[in-house]
Amino acid sequence: MVHPRTQEDDLPGKDVAKEFYAKYEPKEILGRGVSSTVRRCIHKETGREYAAKIIDISSDTEGAGPTSLYQATKREIEVLRKVAGHPYIIELHDVFESTTFIFLVLELCRQGELFDYLTTVVALSEKRTKSIMKQLFEALDYIHSQGIVHRDLKPENILLDDSLNVKITDFGFAIHIQPGELLTELCGTPGYLAPELLKSSMYESSTGYDKQVDIWACGVIMYTLLVGFPPFWHRKQMVMLRNIMEGKYEFCSPEWDDITEAPKDLISKLLVVDPAARIDAAGALEHSFFKAVVTQKRIFNAKKTFQFGILCIRALVRIRRLRFTPEPLSLILARTDPYRIKTPRKVIDGCAFTRIV
C-alpha cells in the first residue's frame, strides 16, 4: 500500500538539528534540488515566514575536500554574506550546521521563479522587461563590484517577491575572483553559457573568463523575456553550443516585429562574442532602453487577435479538464520545439553541469 507523502517526509531528525527546530517550524516543500530541499518555515518567536534550504551533506563522498558539497555550501554562505543588504539579492537570515545537514534560512519569495512567471505569461511587455532587467543589472553591478561572479544566471535562479521585484538566488556556482583573475572551470546551464566559458573548456590556448559571462547570460534572459524563447536554443545541443560560440542569433519575424529598436540594440551589446567588447552592468544601466519611454503602438493584427482568442478557448478547455485528466502532449511539438512546453523546458533549463579542472 502506498501512503501519501506528508509534511514530515524527508525532514532531518530533530536530534541532528536541535538549534534549527528550536527557532523554526518547517512547513511544506517549495522545491527540490539534487542534494537539497527548500521548505517554507516559520520563525517561532516572530511568526515571520522564511524559506529553509536544507542541504544533505551525509552522502558527500569527498568529505572536506576543496570540491566537496560541504565546501561548496560554505562558499555559497560566504558569498551570500558578502553581497547581503542589496534589495535585488536574496537575503540570508540564518545558518545552522550539523554533521549531516546544513540549513540556510533565506528570504521567502512568494511569487516563485521568474521562469514560472515567464511560462505563465509566455512573453513580457517592453515596460515589464525594462523593470526586471534594470533590477537585474543593478544587482549584478553590485555583485561584480564585490569581486563575485555568479556563473549560473537564468530565470530559474531569479525569484520574485510580492511586488514582483527580482531577487537573484542560488549562488552555488558563484566564486570570488581577484582583479585580473581569469577562471577556467566549466559550470552553469548550457543555453546561458558565454562563448569564452565554452572555449575555456575546449581549447588549451584559451585565456579563461571573468564576470562578463554574467552579462552574456543577461542578454539571453532579456531576449527570452521579450519573445518567450531563447536566442540560441536548438534541439541538437552541439548546434546550440556552436551557435553560442559564433554569436549566431537573429531577431526573427514575426515575434520581433512589434518590438522597438532600443531593446534590440541593448541585446546586441550584451550578446557580443568578445567579452572585452561586451557592455558591462554599469554600461547597460546607461543604455537608452532604460531612459526612453516606449511610444511605439502595436498595430492591430486581426490574425493575431483571432489566434489569441483560440488560445484563450484552449486554455479554458484545459482548465476544465485539469481535475479529470492531463492534457495530451503533442509528439510533433515535443520533437520540433520542446522549449515551448513547460515540462520539457524545465528539464532543458535545469541541465546545469560542472566539471572540475
Residues belonging to the active site: 152
Phi and psi (nearest 5°) for 50? -140, 175
DSSP 298: P
Contacts of range 31-35, beta carbons closer than 8 Å, 24 or more positions apart: 35/59, 35/69
3-state secondary structure of 206: coil
Within 10 angstroms of residue 58's Cβ, the number of other Cβ atoms is 13
Residues facing residue 96 across a β-bridge: 103
List the one residue out of 225, 228, 219, 170 whose CA is nearest residue 193: 219
Locate all alpha helices (DSSP H) within the chain, ordered by sequence.
18-23, 69-82, 114-121, 126-145, 195-202, 212-227, 237-246, 261-270, 281-285, 302-322, 331-336, 342-349
**291 annotated as ligand-binding:** no
Residues 142 and 83 sit within 8 Å (Cβ to Cβ): yes
Cα gap 218→226, rounded to integer Å? 12
Nearest to 147 by CA among 176, 169, 184: 176
Here the cell at position 64 is 572536506
**Maximal C-alpha separation, the chain:** 65
**Angstrom distance (rounded) from CA 250 to CA 265:** 12
Detail the residues annotated as belonging to a binding site.
Answer: 53
Known binding positions for ATP: 53
